[in-house]
Chain A
Amino acid sequence: MSDDYPTLFRSEPMSLVQLFIPTEVAHDAVAELGELGNVEFKDLNPEVNPFQRSFVGEIRRVDEMARRVRFFTSQIEKEKDVVPIRPLYDSAPLITVGPRAATTIDELDVTLAEHESRLNQMNESYQTLSDRMKELVEARYVLRETAVFFDKAQAQESDVRTSIDESSAPLLQHAERDNQFSTATVQFDLEFVAGTIERTRLPTFERVLWRVLRGNLYMNYTDIPEPFVDPVTGAETRKNVFIIFAHGETLLAKIRKVAESMGGTLYPIDANADKRADSLREVTARLEDLQTVLYNTGLNRRSELVRIGESLASWQDVVAKEKLIYQTLNLFNYDVRRKTLIAEGWCPTRDITTIQLALRHATEESGTNVPPILHEIRTHKMPPTFMRTNKFTEGFQTIMDSYGIATYQEVNPGLFAVITFPFLFAVMFGDIGHGFITFTTALLMITFERKLAKADLGEIIGTFFYGRYIILLMGAFSMYTGLLYNDIFSRSLHIWHSGWDWPATPSNDSVAATFNGNVYPFGLDPGWHGAENGLVYTNSYKMKMSIVLGVIHMTFALCLQVPNHIRFKRFSDIYSNFIPQMIFLQSIFGYLVICILYKWSIDWSTSPTAPPSLLNMLIGMFLTPGSVDPSTQLYRGQGFIQTVLLLLAFVCVPWLLCMKPYLQYQEMKKIQGQGYVGIPHGDEPPRASSDDVLEGEEEGNGRAIAEDAEEEHEQHDFSEVVVHQVIHTIEFCLGCISHTASYLRLWALSLAHAQLSEVLWNMTLGPALGMSGLFGWIALAIVFCLWFVLTIFILCVMEGLSAFLHALRLHWVEANSKHYEAGGRQFMPLSFAHLNEA
């Protein structure tokens, strides 16, 4: 039955398998299994430190390779012009399995190391060259700026001379003395220090100098306009040229020392203008040479990076895979004497053949003839839950998985969510137009699936893309419910003849439509649209419909308990849990649904009694059981039937509360009773024999469950069972009422959606359609754009998200609480497929 095809109804049957893998094949076998992606390996040496495991050396080597690859990536990213990286699907695969695997890895290691050292060398030489270039540029600036300064000083020479009388400026006194020696040539024989310093440090530098020299200095500085860029880090620094005049060798020495310790660079500048010009020429010439060298070095470096970029993606892939392989190998038990690795893990029973084929393939590939041995172990451990999804069901399954992972082999609500989820969504979102937009969007995403899957879409769009099949179904179902509600962008469709005729003569008074005998075959009669009591009608209709849908949905969810009870052989639960719950739900709310349907089917205009309020009827059923006001009676014998139903519901509460604990108690008693027989020491021969049997059984069991030491033996604590059942009962009974009320959100959201879209229409497009002439057309175009954008963003996206959220809640809370245990553990197979996402 379910063994023929994989099904979503229950999770896959799993097997615990044990693999004996010869060391030579281990790497290739794991690689093969990783490509296959359906074995989850258990950690067989959890007590061993991560760095004491068998393959730490290999992991470390791979780590080192990964570091090199990361280094390349960061270098390529830092490069200003984009270096092309050839994508993985475009590059030749690097084969790391088979007999040549070790050499391939060695070669890769060597290649990476070579590239790294070459790149480092280039970086270094580039660095040195740029440093020298920076120095030269700085020197050039210093020469230029000081020249400007000297020129200016020359021009102001007369001013200097007049100001020398003020003896407060010792520097100028010195200048004056120089000037006296050589006034004619205006020779600056002043002692000075020139250099460059970072701009941020300049104020500090100035302050320190002032304090060190007690103000005996004259300092001038200018900004260097262009920033210096560090070739490695790419950081910009801005610098200033300074020139400081001071008197005396000690002071100058101090200035030099301070400048150097503050990170400044000093340049020897000659006081003589001609010599300065000479050195400027020299510096410029050297700068030009250096620039060509630097350019070539940069070019070389770039071509190296381009070469790296060509195979970087495949290296990344290989390194990541290798690391995963060795990490997996570390989970295995290494038997040194027998040269084999022992692995244990879970895999889907269905795939064992595939796995065996893969293992054989790995053996052939690696060129040895000792195949790995795989055999299944019987165990009592709870296997992980594995749902085999495809791209269509994946999204729906994720919705349920985010609530909780199903217990192993439990009925999976994800399967039913495929239909119920979009349907409940559509009840809230019913509009043909909006549904169509949603449907088309999803359809486009599905059409360009391959292209979009490769592109990086970002988090938000990516989420939508992931749920594209959900959106598709949501759109399709919305169109259907839109047809039912007869809503298209808040307008209505006239497909068939309406059942109502409006009087032909227009008048300001309210008029009544007359029934013409037509019955609108599908959906809401368009005659209701725009009618004064249209809202009252749709409200009543949608409210009742949501109750009907809700009760059906809950009943269905409740029924899903039964296959679980049967599968897990808890037959007593069927009549201690399922049947009372079902009776309770149906006797109150099932009855309500029947009443709703019955009320709909009666033509109240010809009925002798007025239509009764069902809400009051339900309240009356609880408050005054047995008596129904004849004026609001729905059918004959109503009082009696309601009393019976109420009694049924009340009986269910103690039934639900007591039966399960009682059964448990019985069973416990039975086990204890048996236990009293076994425990006394075997003085009497007949009991000794029974002990033997018992022991034999125990031994047999022990063999059956293999090394299963940590078998969870649930302690049947009676009080726990009682407490659990009390909580369960209260939760269910109160839940029935609140959950039914909760389904009214279907009505509320559907109403809100319809009203919002109508408001939007009336505020924008409605008035614009009435206008005529050229102005009318222009207004129409503008208003249409506005309307369309608002429709997309408010009605489709925002309202859609809110309806999605409510549909989610109805599934998680209202439906799942009826049957879903969700106590499982996700199956996490070793797989290379998701390597890049991690």
Chain B
Amino acid sequence: MEALFFNVSNGFLEGILRGYKAGILTQSHYSNLTQCETLDDFRMQLSATDYGNFLANEPSPLSTSTIADKATQILVDQFNFIRTNSVEPLSTFLEYITYGYMIDNVVLLITGTLHERDTHELLLRCHPLGVFDTMPALCVATNVEDLYRTVLVETPLAPYFIDCLSASDLDDLNIEIIRNTLYKAYLEDFDRFCKTLGEPTYEVMHRILSFEADRRTINITINSFGTELSKEQRAKLFPTIGRLYPEGNNALARADDIEQVRQACDYIPEYKTFFDSGPQSAPRANGNGAQDDLFNEESSVAADLEDRFFRQEVHLNKQSFLQQFQYAVFYSYFKLKEQEIRSITWIAECIAQDARDRIQDFIPIF
């Protein structure tokens, strides 16, 4: 049924989007980009791709941040084009995409204010997709309640914030808790919303969102080792829509080291592989200096893990393009594009800092 009427409202946008998707850089583009000697070469290579002449009017000593900014600007323009042309329920769906960026921006601003950074500088660093009207006023707030009452109450994030009100002071740990609580509520809400959209969308979106939830769960667990976050608190931050829920979440809530995390994830085949080669590559050191080694190992596992998470995310997002008549493609495209910008920036950064050996560490999409 949805196939019958989908194109009435969304056919045009889906067509546009799939056109955009065709412009995503491919492996051969990347291999050309990685061969560049300078950022000017880089610019020339990019101008042969779908990015076109987006850097043509920049004065010559290019900086990586300009490249990233301009590329993000393209993403934002595309998003805004889609958003202004969309109708319900796609427009709400697109709104939901921006909430994630909003949460990041809010947390960025609070953290910045806490460390007494310049507000305008912070505002410039915010992701343009997550900007909302009253955002600048965030820097006035000094405690959580203030934050909610003055600013967030009229944003779409307000319902997510209810759970955070218990935390009273703003410090780094609390901000992290706020971020994760917000994200948990956001993911669950988004998932609920997708359920109302019906089958093909929910099927695909649930797969992506539950992976996102599990990723957060695992990250929270790993990052909380050695901090003062109690296990009960930690358990509260876990989103409840992931594939790890509930057994995995419970196991993770009790976990004390990376080994237990791995065991908790064992029964999901995709996640199992994430932990496979990491610890093996760093041979386990017994006895002396175990503490130090453990720390190193954990951080390397985390870095490795992050990379694999990204790869898995890209993989899932790519899969959503295999289905027709559903909204998940919109989410996926913007996530993929974001990943592409990350990759471009990484390569540019490697070129600028002459770190040739690490230039291959980006995540290709196609």
| B133 lies within 8 A of A64 (CB) | no
CA distance A739 to B216 in the complex (A): 71
| With A49-B32, A49-B35, A51-B45 as contacts: A257 and B139 at CB distance below 8 Å | yes
Across the interface, which residues of A come within 8 angstroms of B119, CB to CB?
Answer: 260-261
Q: In this complex, which of A64, A260, A261 has the most chain B Cβ atoms within 10 angstroms of its Cβ?
A: A261
Q: Is the beta-carbon distance between A261 and B48 smaller than 8 angstroms?
A: no
Binds A, one of B36-44, B189-197, B270-278, B327-335: B36-44
Q: A262 contacts B136, CB within 8 Å?
A: yes
Among listed B2-10, B92-100, B149-157, B222-230, interface-contacting one = B149-157
Give Cα A595 to B153, complex, Å: 93
Say whether B56 faces chain A, with CB atoms less than 8 Å apart: yes
Interface string of A30-52 (1 = CB under 8 A from B): 00000000000000000001111
Whether A60 touches B133, Cβ cut-off 8 Å, given contacts A67-B56, A208-B151, A212-B140, is no
A80 is an interface residue with CB less than 8 A from chain B? no
Q: Counting chain A CB atoms within 10 Å of each CB, which of B41, B120, B136, B146 scores highest? A: B136
**A84 contacts B by Cβ under 8 Å:** no
Q: Could you tell me the dominant secondary structure of chain A's interface residues?
A: helix
- C-beta contact mask, B186-216 vs A, less than 8 Å → 1, else 0? 0000000000000000000000000000000
Q: Which residues in B have their C-beta under 8 angstroms from that of A260?
A: 119
Asked if B57 and A207 make an inter-chain contact with CB atoms under 8 angstroms apart, the answer reads: no
Structural contact, A257 and B40, CB atoms closer than 8 A: no
Please measure, in the bound complex, the distance between the C-alpha atom of A207 and the C-alpha atom of B153, giving whole angstroms. Answer: 11
Query: Cβ of B56: which chain A residues have Cβ within 8 Å of it?
Result: 63, 67, 70
Known contacts A67-B57, A70-B57, A260-B119; A208/B137 CB under 8 A: yes
Q: Find residues 28-81 in chain B having any chain A CB closer than 8 Å to their own CB.
A: 32, 35-37, 40-41, 44-45, 48, 56-57, 59-60
Q: Would you call A51 and B150 a contact (CB within 8 A)? A: no
Chain A residues with CB under 8 A of B57: 67, 70-71
B134 interfacial contact with A, CB 8 Å = yes
Point out the residue from B136, B139, B140 that lies within 8 Å of A263, measured CB to CB. Answer: B136
A residues 189-224 touching B (CB-CB < 8 Å): 201, 204, 207-208, 211-212
Say whether A201 contacts B133, CB under 8 Å: yes
Question: 1/0 contact trace for A59-73 toward B, CB 8 Å?
Answer: 010011001001100
B154 touches A207 (CB 8 A): yes
Which residues of B sit under 8 angstroms from A208, Cβ to Cβ? Answer: 134, 137, 150-151
In Å, the complex CA distance between A64 and B62 comes to 12
Within A225-267, which residues are at the interface with B (CB < 8 Å)? 254, 257-258, 260-263
- Asked if residues B154 and A261 are in contact (CB atoms below 8 Å), the reply is no
A51-B137 contact given A207-B154, A208-B151, A211-B150, CB 8 Å threshold: no
Are A261 and B32 CB-contacts (below 8 A) given A208-B150, A211-B153?
A: no
Q: Per a CB cutoff under 8 Å, which of B44, B60, B120 touches A51?
A: B44
- Are B140 and A257 touching (Cβ within 8 A)? yes
Partner of A254, one of B45, B123, B138, B140: B140
Residues of A contacting B133 in the complex (Cβ-Cβ under 8 angstroms): 201, 204
Least distance between B246 CB and chain A CB atoms (Å): 39
Q: Which A residue sits closest to B123, measured CB to CB?
A: A261
**A212 to B32, Cβ gap below 8 A?**
no
Q: Assess A258 versus B137: contact at CB under 8 Å? Given A49-B35, A64-B60.
A: yes
CB-CB nearest in chain B for A262:
B136
Separation in Å of the A72 CB from the closest CB of chain B? 12
Q: Which of A50, A207, A211, A263 is within 8 Å of B44, CB to CB?
A: A50
Quick one: which of B44, B45, B48, B139 has the most chain A CB within 10 A?
A: B44
On whether A262 and B36 interact (CB within 8 A), knowing A51-B41, A67-B57, A70-B57, the answer reads: no
Contacts of A263 in B (CB 8 A): 136
Q: How far is the CB of B4 from chain A (nearest CB, A)?
A: 38
Write the chain B residue with the least CB distance to A71.
Answer: B57
Q: Are the CB atoms of A262 and B44 closer together than 8 Å? A: no
Q: How far is the CA of A283 from the CA of B57 in the complex (A)?
A: 39
Measured between alpha carbons, how far is A581 from B56 in the docked complex, in Å? 59
Given A49-B35, A67-B57, A207-B154, A60 contacting B140 (CB threshold 8 A)? no
* Shortest Cβ gap from A367 to chain B (Å): 32
CA distance A263 to B150 in the complex (A): 17
The closest CB in chain A to the CB of B132 belongs to A204
Q: Are B36 and A51 neighbours in the complex by a CB distance under 8 Å?
A: yes
Q: Which of B76-126 contact A (CB under 8 A)?
A: 119-120, 123
- Nearest B residue (CB) for A201: B133
Given A50-B44, A261-B119: A207 touches B36 (CB 8 Å cut-off): no
B123 to chain A: which residues have CB within 8 Å?
Answer: 261
A685 to chain B, nearest CB (A): 55
Question: Which residues in A have their C-beta under 8 angstroms from that of B153?
Answer: 211
B36 CB contacts on chain A under 8 angstroms: 51
**In whole angstroms, how far apart are the Cα atoms of A63 and B154 in the complex?**
49
Chain A residues with Cβ under 8 A from B151's Cβ? 208, 211
Q: Name the residue among B45, B56, B150 with the largest chain A CB count within 10 angstroms.
A: B150
The chain B residues found within 8 Å of chain A, CB to CB, are 32, 35-37, 40-41, 44-45, 48, 56-57, 59-60, 119-120, 123, 133-134, 136-140, 146, 149-151, 153-154
Chain A positions near chain B (C-beta within 8 angstroms)? 49-52, 56, 60, 63-64, 67, 70-71, 201, 204, 207-208, 211-212, 254, 257-258, 260-263
Q: Could you pull out 19 A-B pairs where Cβ atoms are within 8 angstroms?
A: A49-B32, A50-B48, A51-B44, A52-B35, A56-B41, A56-B44, A60-B40, A63-B56, A64-B60, A67-B57, A70-B57, A71-B57, A207-B134, A208-B134, A211-B151, A212-B137, A257-B140, A261-B119, A262-B137
14 new A-B contacts at CB < 8 Å, known A56-B44, A208-B134: A49-B32, A70-B57, A204-B134, A207-B154, A208-B150, A211-B151, A212-B146, A212-B150, A254-B140, A261-B119, A261-B120, A261-B123, A261-B139, A261-B140
